[in-house]
Amino acid sequence: MDLEFSIWLGTTTRWAHLTKVIAMPVVPRVGEFVKFKSAIVGDYVAFRISEVTYREDGRIEVWTELLDNIDNRMYSFEEEAEFDEYFDSYLAEGWQCPRGVGPNRRLTVSGPPSEDGAQQGVGPAGRSPTAPARRSTP
């Protein structure tokens, strides 16, 4: 069945949301991991499933957590060049980035995630049922 996947990549300054329709034999469950092929960077990176949405029209959307979001820091890569390498590798595999690369406005201002363990900043504000990330001031 065809599933519409969403993945996110980020640095301290840039953020990208990529999408791709991929045929899979089953729908992954929240908490499971999926690896996407990449001829350039390999498929050793696993994305954790954060949300599965069944649309009325039959489409199934699968969202992942921000790649390598250690301690909810709200970015994947320390180095801009590494972001570019991964971003370009996914585009080469047919991923789309309809909104383009934008500024990372999801960095937290005041320390670690909330005490209740709520995951923060999984997707664009307002689209995820989890708590939104605290935003930094420009």
pLDDT digits 0-9 by tens, 64-94 = 987 766 666 676 788 899 899 999 999 999 9
Domain ranges of the chain: 2-103
**Burial degree of 129 (CB within 10 A; 0-12, 13-18, 19+):** exposed
Which of 109, 103, 104 minimizes the C-alpha distance to 137? 109
Residues 12-23 pLDDT 10s: 899 899 999 999
The answer to whether 130 and 120 are in contact (CB under 8 A) is yes
Whole-structure pTM value: 0.72
